Amino acid sequence: MSRKESLPSIALWRHFDGIAYGGDYNPEQWPVDVRLEDLDLMKEAGVTFLSVGIFSWALLEPREGEYDFRWLDEVLDNLSAAGIKVALATATAAPPPWLVHKHPEILPVTAEGTVLGPGSRRHYSPSSAVYRRYATGITRVLAERYKEHPALALWHVDNELGCHVSDFYGDEDAAAFRRWLERRYGTIEAVNRAWGTAFWSQNYASFEEILPPRVAPFTLNPGQQLDFKRFSSWALMDFYRALVAVLREVTPHIPATTNLMASSATKSLDYFDWAQDLDVIANDHYLVAADPESQVELAFSADLTRGIAGGDPWILMEHSTSAVNWQPRNRPKLPGEMLRNSLAHVARGADAVMFFQWRQSYAGSEKFHSAMVPHGGRDTRVWREVVELGSALKRLAPVRGSRVESRVAIVFDYEAWWASELDSHPSQDVKYLDLLRSFHRSLFLRGVSVDFVHPSASLDAYDLVLVCTLYNVSDESAGNIAAAASRGATVLVSYFSGIVDEHDHVRLGGYPGAFRDLLGIKIEEFHPLLAGEQLKLSDGGTASIWSEHVHVVGGVHIVEHVHIVERVHGGDGDDAGSGAGSGTAEVLATFTEYPLDGVPALTRREVGNGTAWYLATCPDVDSLGALVDRLLSESGVSPVAASDQGVELTRRRREDGKSFVFAINHSRTDASVSVSGMELISGTRFGGTVAAGAVAVVAED
Ligand code: GAL
């Protein structure tokens, strides 16, 4: 069953006629007259959904056991009367001063042993038993008080779990890590095997001897580091589960979620794993002001969020109307940029558009962060754009519940992100996201939709599957990828994939052990490039970062500089990848420079009904683009529509077959897009042109 069909999720979406609209609402920062004005302004903007009470614990419970719900009662009653639904927070994202004073042991500890103090937010360890007791306590009090409140539509559990600090190294965290290891491995011998502790005299006699990977004289055990990353992601999720257990008991009819931070910046949390526990996926996204292509990163984040949601509609829980306050230089958004950003999220599957925050604070750390109601009030560009967006979202009601169509999958795995970037590797320049994002960008620019898919998930829906830097992979996932090729997909695997198993143990017999059979190649030795070094390829392209000594298995490979002809016999029999067909890989491009001149850089092998390509280096932008064109043409995938350059394109389709093309013109000139139908925002027939900086949503004929 998809998440969309789960009962609590249905209960949420049925509150809204169209795309839900609103933001974080912090009324506790304002006197009552401002709170009343808020209601009028919310009506003017078309607000339907607000997250309330995220950082309000110290006001709700000013002293232990003494509660003051007057302001929250008033706010929820008024919002409900105004027809606005609420995602009520558990208020646990910032422990109140009295709690820290009484129990300083809840504070987070870093790998260096530094205790992170109060005075900010998120100053607790998720493994602290004391903090869990208090956090589940306030959660229960809130759930009991508001369980029947008509405004309550969703639980907003904590806030951005793992933001600021995601790994915790205190003694209580160490004990929780040990318990987690015991559950995972059963015996200390199994831990020793998994971590390869025969190396450097690290063999453990008992679980009690194990510590988190705190700062040490030199590089730490990679198995220990990888498991600590798994544990840290799990520990935050386990804290979430403890709060949700209370909510399920008191309000089984109300769905629960927490706001994720899926983007190129959040590495430490395995959101594919987390997704199992969220009734609906919610994400926060902020543009990086210094990024000249921030719309591409936005698309990456939104596509990743949709992947985490398994394709179901999701909530954009926070983004900004204009500038943020936490980057080095906080540029405001350009006119129209907010609308483009918001609708780009909708184009990629969001059915709710929300901001941090409703009204810009006048005090505190975030007073220079933009909001829906700016310091300048109603007579501002931001406010006019907020009202304009509200009315556009209302007109997009027919889109709600539809799903984004994609025939291209990029395999995405947080564990591979962690493991591929551990220390002591052949090159520090191999970054998990680099090639993956280059492919995504190239497809974005071509108007081709991409889904991010976990390596263990079904790839049946895809004609093109890209596997980038999947350094660690299980036998099952490698088999899943190989099966996609046999079934008929075009599958491309890049360098530094399939090198180790899930324990970070090298798959012996020649790289890439997990994909050797599938690809029909064998890599003898890596040749990472020096900083800034570029290589020429035989097809005229250039490449950087990586090269390697690739042999085509069973094929003839001429290594010119030593004037030998060698034949490599492969298929050692212990490989996970299935090479269903048995063609020999053809070499499409080679390295051209000593010592790898003539060595394959790009290969392609027919496998069953599909193909398996191997890319042994990191091509420059144009070479990658040319490769993408070849892959698209082989797999028969075409863009959403023909258009001029600079237009972002996606298609969402409803279950009844009705489809909607989103065309977002990021350029400064008008652009033509060849789709026909009614344009929903203007309510007129689409004339084939999207004005500079504008957005068209076309309900296709
Ligand atoms: C988020 C957070 C919000 C607010 C926002 C500012 O990380 O959830 O509370 O701080 O950033 O951009």
Asked if residue 571 has pLDDT above 60, the reply is no
Whether 652 is in the pocket of ligand 1, judged by its Cβ within 6 Å, is no
Q: What percent of the chain has pLDDT over 70?
A: 95
Q: What does the pLDDT average to over 599-612?
A: 98
Domains of the chain, CATH where assigned: 3-165+237-401 (3.20.20.80), 408-635 (3.40.50.880), 647-700 (2.60.40.1180)
Asked if residue 557 has pLDDT above 60, the reply is no
- Considering only CA atoms, which of 307, 314, 298, 230 is closest in space to residue 270? 230
Q: What does the pLDDT average to over 535-539?
A: 97
Provide the pLDDT for residue 3: 56
What's the gap in Å between 162 CA and the centre of ligand 1? 12
Asked if residue 698 has pLDDT above 60, the reply is yes
Whether 369 is in the pocket of ligand 1, judged by its Cβ within 6 Å, is yes
Mind telling me the catalytic residues? 160, 318
Asked if residue 231 has pLDDT above 60, the reply is yes
265: tokens are: 């910046």
Whether 318 is in the pocket of ligand 1, judged by its Cβ within 6 Å, is yes
pTM of the model: 0.96
Over residues 155-200, the pLDDT tens digits come to: 999 999 999 999 999 999 999 999 999 999 999 999 999 999 999 9
Over residues 617-655, the pLDDT tens digits come to: 999 999 999 999 999 999 999 999 999 999 999 999 999
Amino acid, single-letter form, for residue 486: S
172: tokens are: 């209580």
Read out DSSP for 203-261?
Answer: --SSGGG-------SSPPPHHHHHHHHHHHHHHHHHHHHHHHHHHHHH-TTS-EE-EE-
Over residues 263-289, the pLDDT tens digits come to: 999 999 999 999 999 999 999 999 999
**Cis peptide bond N-terminal to 512, omega within 30:** yes
- Rounded CA separation 102/422 (Å): 38
β-bridge pairing 350-355 and 314-318: parallel
Q: Which of 121, 157, 160, 359 to mutate to test the pocket of ligand 1 (most atoms within 8 A of CB)?
A: 160
Mean pLDDT estimate for the chain:
95
Q: What does the pLDDT average to over 538-563?
A: 78
Query: DSSP letter at 193?
Result: H
Provide the pLDDT for residue 555: 61
Q: H/E element holding 43?
A: helix 32-45
Q: What does the pLDDT average to over 39-52?
A: 98
Instruction: Name the pLDDT band for 578 (thresholds 50, 70, 90).
Output: very low
What's the gap in Å between 356 CA and the centre of ligand 1? 6
**What is the chain's Cα-based Rg?**
27
Provide the pLDDT for residue 86: 98
What's the gap in Å between 357 CA and the centre of ligand 1? 8
Over residues 18-34, the pLDDT tens digits come to: 999 999 999 999 999 99
- Rounded CA separation 626/630 (Å): 6
Which atom belonging to ligand 1 lies closest to the Cα atom of 163? 7
- Rounded CA separation 386/159 (Å): 24
Amino acid, single-letter form, for residue 78: N
Helix, strand, coil percentages, rounded to 5, for the chain: 35, 20, 45
Cα dihedral: 456, 458, 464, 469 (round 10)? -10
Q: Is 88 helix (H, G, I), strand (E, B) or coil?
A: strand
Whether 159 is in the pocket of ligand 1, judged by its Cβ within 6 Å, is yes
Least confident segment among 292-301, 450-459, 519-528, 578-587: 578-587
Instruction: Name the pLDDT band for 606 (thresholds 50, 70, 90).
Output: very high
What's the gap in Å between 24 CA and the centre of ligand 1? 9
Provide the pLDDT for residue 1: 46
Residue in the structure block whose two tokens are 């422990």 = 95
Provide the pLDDT for residue 582: 59
Q: Is 549 helix (H, G, I), strand (E, B) or coil?
A: strand
Q: What does the pLDDT average to over 425-451?
A: 98
Instruction: Name the pLDDT band for 6 (thresholds 50, 70, 90).
Output: low
Over residues 483-492, the pLDDT tens digits come to: 999 999 999 9
Task: Give the CB-side neighbour count of residue 59, counting CA atoms within 13 A.
Answer: 15
Provide the pLDDT for residue 5: 55
Provide the pLDDT for residue 101: 98
CA-nearest residue for atom 9, ligand 1, is 356
Residue 430, Cα to own-chain centre: how many angstroms? 20
Instruction: Name the pLDDT band for 118 (thresholds 50, 70, 90).
Output: very high
Q: Is 661 helix (H, G, I), strand (E, B) or coil?
A: strand
Q: What does the pLDDT average to over 428-438?
A: 98
Amino acid, single-letter form, for residue 674: S
What's the gap in Å between 72 CA and the centre of ligand 1? 21
Whether 284 is in the pocket of ligand 1, judged by its Cβ within 6 Å, is yes
